[in-house]
Amino acid sequence: MDFMTILLLAVFAFFIFTMFRRNKKAQQQQAQMQSKFGPGVEVMTSFGLYGTIVSIDEAENKVVLELSPGNEATVHRQAVTKIVEPAAPAADAALSEEPGDVAPAGGTLGLDKREAPAAGTQSQLNETPEETIRRLNDEGKNDK
């Protein structure tokens, strides 16, 4: 065997090792997440439904989710892919534009700080939908 064959086999073995390791880690994470399942936990399914776990049937791998009050859905246990964490209250403080800003009562922060439109855009604000379509079509032709 020459050096290139040995190198090729080593690279191939490395890729196989990393593939198995990645799969093992994903299975461990899935098992760890499913161990946290229980009634009252808010979850998201692989197809985008959000709900709260009502009951779990271990024998048949089924989970009953309450999607909204009075509406329940039964899904396979593996379809539940994510536990929804409650939003942190500190996230609301990060929404303010400047430190020390306080939203006025009954209003929202930042509405008084609108920027003036750039030059040439004032006429675009007053144009009809037909004029907008014509202008956009003309801009597309000029780009080519």
The tens-digit pLDDT sequence of the chain (144 residues) is: 789 999 999 999 999 999 999 999 988 888 888 777 888 889 999 898 899 999 988 889 899 999 988 899 999 988 888 888 776 665 455 554 455 555 555 555 444 444 544 555 556 667 888 888 888 888 766 655
Residue 29 sits at the vertex; the CA angle it makes with 28 and 35, to the nearest 5 degrees, is 90
The C-alpha atoms of residue 97 and residue 94 are separated, in whole angstroms, by 8
The C-alpha atoms of residue 132 and residue 128 are separated, in whole angstroms, by 6
pTM: 0.45
Closest CA to 74 of 49, 98, 91, 106: 49
